[in-house]
Structure 1
């Protein structure tokens, strides 16, 4: 799995769900490939990337995510905390 390339190919809810399932499988099968192997460091890194990501979108010719996109990510993280 090429996470970076696969992430840029997510354009809808089903593709995101598939991407997350593949990421979960990859973590289970290749934990040594993950720099942030616990939830605390993963969330910290995710937050840091969100703060610094504008240049990534600009360099890739992509528009910056909308406020609604950021709110959806926040809701997904909050829901995953308790969702079974």
Structure 2
């Protein structure tokens, strides 16, 4: 399964955990495939995508995620900052 297919197949906590591990491996094994090569650039790109994602969801026919979904993503980033 390619990177985007794996991202699109995330539908629960376990598949998200597996995707994140796969992303970490891909970053190590395929650094030239990553436009944002450090955490600061990656977080800025994530912020930009979140700000602009309305059109992505509109074209896919899916609703914009709920407030709780966004809060969970924020908690994920905050926790990863200190979690070992």
Give the TM-score of the pair, scaled to structure 2. 0.94
Shift of 1:58: 1.1
Counterparts of residues 21-32 of structure 1 (less than 5 Å): 21-32=21-32
After superposition, the CA RMSD in angstroms is 1.0
- Structure 1 stretches of 4+ with a deviation exceeding 4 A read none
1:19-39 deviations in Å (ceiling 9; x for gaps):
000000000101111000000
Counterparts of residues 31-70 of structure 1 (less than 5 Å): 31-70=31-70
Counterparts of residues 9-28 of structure 1 (less than 5 Å): 9-28=9-28
User: 2:58 & 2:3 partners in 1: Cα distance?
Assistant: 19
SS of the equivalent of 2:63 reads coil
Q: Which has the higher contact order (CA 8 A, sep 6+)?
A: 1
SS of the equivalent of 2:65 reads coil
SS of the equivalent of 2:57 reads helix
Runs of 5+ in structure 2 lacking a partner?
none
SS of the equivalent of 1:14 reads helix
